[in-house]
Amino acid sequence: MLPTGLGKTLVAILVAAAKLHEGGRVLFLAPTRPLAAQHEKVCREWLQLQKEEIVGISGLIPASKRAPLYLPPARLVISTPQTIANDLEAGRLNFDFSLVIFDECHRAVGKYAYTYVANAANGKLTPDGSSRSPPALVLGLTASPGGDKKKITDILNALGITHVQIRTSDDADVKPYIKPLEIEWIKVDLTPAQLQAKEVLADLIKSQFETLRKMGFAGAFQSKKSLSEMRMRILNSSSSLRFSALSHHATLFSLVHVQELLETQGVEAVQRFVQRVREREPSKAQLRLLHNPHFMAMVEKLKSAGEHPKLAKLVELARSRPPSEKSIVFCQYRDQVAVLVNALTAAGLRAQSFMGKKEGVTAKAQQQTLADFREGKFDILVATSIGEEGLDIPSVDNVIFYEPVASEIRHIQRRGRAGRAKLGRMFGLMTANTRDQAFFWSSKRKEDKMKKIVGGLALASPSDFKSVLNAKGRPKKKGEPTASEPADPSQKKTMAELLKEAGHIPSASKKKGQNKLTDF
């Protein structure tokens, strides 16, 4: 585990060079085609191999033409895990690599293709079912494995990793090479009309929670994740009210989503969502929303409520930067990206969007956008999550969060796009007394926890992994000072407590004899 921008790719190349020198073959995996192409370019620059000895393979190459590409003289194969997994399963690839590099290895969970390829690397996918000896060396690279013990354990088990190294920006052997990153969070307040709309939504959400509680499905509103878990419990229950509860849950989820859009994005985002709901094939859940007089009155009033204060603050911030600087603006929602680009352009700034395949953007178009950005044809890149991992633009001066994200992985990846080759700045926009603040403290708490867990693993021998993961955080090194208390006491609070303070409802009270949420 290394901080973003410190050279994880070069570490991989050094290990690959050693294996290649021994006569082995190397497989270098990256989660996306643009990132794989980027690694191929760097490997060709730094490794003393013939052109034909380095092969980039992707799903864009027809399956019938891929099998010969794996054969000698190919010694270093660079690809995406999905392509390799497909070719392994179809028998187009005989796995004979001595080193497998997994970039952004925190993705190695669940059914993601990294886990399938790791089984091959560890000798668990041989045709006769026997173990291949010796197994390949596995190198996993990430800046953010996550702050959950179980997830980290799952990643290690999936990849067969028994040795962990971690460096942070505070370590003595890293600090001289870390470029400074100045961080500033800017708070804004919702307008009175937006606050009024927020209260209307809070009442509607509370009403839906009460309806579900009366059906026997009480739960705590903490996040969309907890609401999704609540839906699974309803689906798995044997209650005669199950289908009615699912309908009310769908209405509840829409209301929570609208409230999040209002708090963190803006009025136009709310209007676009409501319009999409109107255009869908009607369901009871949707009609319950669209026929609610309080909801529709709120939507109507928002038309004259003005945009979210964040939008004006973003434009002000972008205009305050020197013309020579480049910036990346990260935004959670695809709809909002267009709003931000339009606002920045209207202010006389040169901005373009950067989105993924889900928005119909081809890989070629993505590469062209990044090329234009590097060449200075525009100064501000407004990106969705597609820009969070592996975006190699060393000249970026500023990273701007349009909203905090609750995920520590995404927070680290976003932040790491600046301060690579020179002094960088990170600006974050945060709406006071909303889930923005809850998400901010949640990601910070998870990141601190992640460093403690991984630090403990780095100090432990492979046989001690299990006991370390069961311990509370990282063992304190000899002479290491005690960590100071957080500047803000809310850092120590749970997500539920933070959301409650932001004006969201607390856990529903459980009446005597009522089933628990965990029963469903």
pLDDT tens-digit series, residues 267-315:
999 999 999 999 988 899 999 999 999 999 999 999 888 899 999 999 9
Confidence of residue 514 (pLDDT cuts 50, 70, 90): very low
Query: Could you tell me the two tokens for 425?
Result: 């700045």
Of 64-73, 146-155, 191-200, 375-384, the poorest mean pLDDT is in 146-155
Confidence of residue 391 (pLDDT cuts 50, 70, 90): low
- DSSP, collapsed to helix, strand or coil, labels residue 493 as coil
pLDDT tens-digit series, residues 95-125:
999 999 999 898 888 889 999 999 999 887 6
Whether the predicted pLDDT of 234 surpasses 70: yes
Whether the predicted pLDDT of 248 surpasses 90: yes
Confidence of residue 506 (pLDDT cuts 50, 70, 90): very low
CA distances to 7, 18, 39, 72, 467 from 54, rounded to whole Å, are: 20, 15, 11, 10, 42
Of 173-177, 266-270, 348-352, the poorest mean pLDDT is in 173-177
CA distances to 75, 85, 91, 364 from 65, rounded to whole Å, are: 18, 16, 13, 21
Cα–Cα dist 206/256, whole Å:
10
Cα–Cα dist 469/453, whole Å:
7
- DSSP, collapsed to helix, strand or coil, labels residue 100 as strand
Whether the predicted pLDDT of 72 surpasses 50: yes
Confidence of residue 1 (pLDDT cuts 50, 70, 90): low
- The amino acid sitting at 43 is C
How confident is the model at residue 340, as a pLDDT?
A: 96
How confident is the model at residue 512, as a pLDDT?
A: 38
CB 104 within 8 A of CB 142: yes
Whether the predicted pLDDT of 508 surpasses 50: no
Cα–Cα dist 52/401, whole Å:
42
What would the mean pLDDT of 67-92 be, rounded to a whole number? 95
Q: Which of 79-102 are b and which e, b meaning 16 or more Cβ less than 10 Å from the residue's Cβ?
A: bbbbbbbbbbeeebbebebbbbbb
How confident is the model at residue 441, as a pLDDT?
A: 75
Task: Return phi, psi of residue 7, to 5°.
Answer: 110, 40
pLDDT tens-digit series, residues 29-47:
999 887 898 899 999 999 9
How confident is the model at residue 35, as a pLDDT?
A: 85
What would the mean pLDDT of 327-353 be, rounded to a whole number? 93
% pLDDT > 90, the chain:
49
Q: Domains in the chain and their CATH numbers?
A: 8-174 (3.40.50.300), 176-189+308-435 (3.40.50.300), 192-306+505-519 (1.20.1320.20)
Q: Give residue 369's Cα distance to chain centre.
A: 22
What would the mean pLDDT of 419-448 be, rounded to a whole number? 79
- DSSP, collapsed to helix, strand or coil, labels residue 328 as strand
Query: Could you tell me the two tokens for 216?
Result: 């026997």
Of 16-25, 134-143, 393-402, the poorest mean pLDDT is in 393-402
Confidence of residue 423 (pLDDT cuts 50, 70, 90): low
Cα–Cα dist 404/76, whole Å:
39
Cα–Cα dist 187/397, whole Å:
21
pTM (two decimals): 0.69
Cα–Cα dist 322/313, whole Å:
16
Q: Give residue 515's Cα distance to chain centre.
A: 35
Cis peptide before 135 (omega within 30 of 0): no
Confidence of residue 3 (pLDDT cuts 50, 70, 90): low
What would the mean pLDDT of 504-515 be, rounded to a whole number? 38
How confident is the model at residue 484, as a pLDDT?
A: 34
Cα–Cα dist 52/362, whole Å:
27
How confident is the model at residue 420, as a pLDDT?
A: 53
Whether the predicted pLDDT of 368 surpasses 50: yes
